[in-house]
Amino acid sequence: MPCSTPQTPAWLTRDQLPSAPIASVYDWLFNQDSLTRRLTELSDGGFSVTPLREGWQALRDDECAALDVPPGSQGWVREVYLRGNGQPWVFARSVAARQALEGSNLDLQELGSRSLGELLFSDQAFTRGELQVCRYPAAWLPSEASQNDLWARRSCFRRGPLAVLVAEVFLADFWPAASR
């Protein structure tokens, strides 16, 4: 079901932020490289993806706006944990509008425990839009990871009429590992 509650965050670009987070957080939020590759390096090869849920559902209003589709549009939703050495470091939610996805040759149902980011970065036809950040609503996280004020980032990857919106939420267990 679409979420248009007052808790919907304002996704902001780098230039729209009222104040920048500390440098180490800023680097992770606005780095344009593949997050999968960075997490693989940080975990010394101990990177893995744990699918949580995926399937067709109504997209949230903020997702519909980012994908330029009408509110309440159906889309493929994939939620996963990106893990470093077994620890859930990042919660990722990727969405694509049904009509555009069905007209493409991208089958998100076939990813399983593979990283969507790696696929998007390896296909030169995809272009990445500007990164946006917010403090992610706890209600949008899996219950075991639910925490207020976690930093999140998102960007839209486009290939022709297909747009894939990827949001990545940095969980509390990530930051101690990132500061080593």
| Distance in angstroms (rounded) separating the CA atoms of residues 78 and 168 | 12
Is 2 exposed, middle or buried (CB count within 10 Å of its CB: 0-12, 13-18, 19+)?
A: middle
Binding residues for substrate: 78, 116, 168
Q: Hunting for tokens 């230039």 — which residue is that? A: 15
Q: Which residues contact 176 (CB under 8 A, 6 or more apart)?
A: none
- Tell me which DSSP letter residue 20 carries: P
| Distance in angstroms (rounded) separating the CA atoms of residues 20 and 40 | 26
Q: What is the 3-state secondary structure (H, E, C) of 118-159?
A: HHHHHCCCCEECCCEEEEECHHHCCHHHCCCCEEEEEEEEEE
Binding residues: 78, 116, 168
Q: Which residues contact 48 (CB under 8 A, 6 or more apart)?
A: 82, 83, 86, 113
* Type of residue found at 71: P
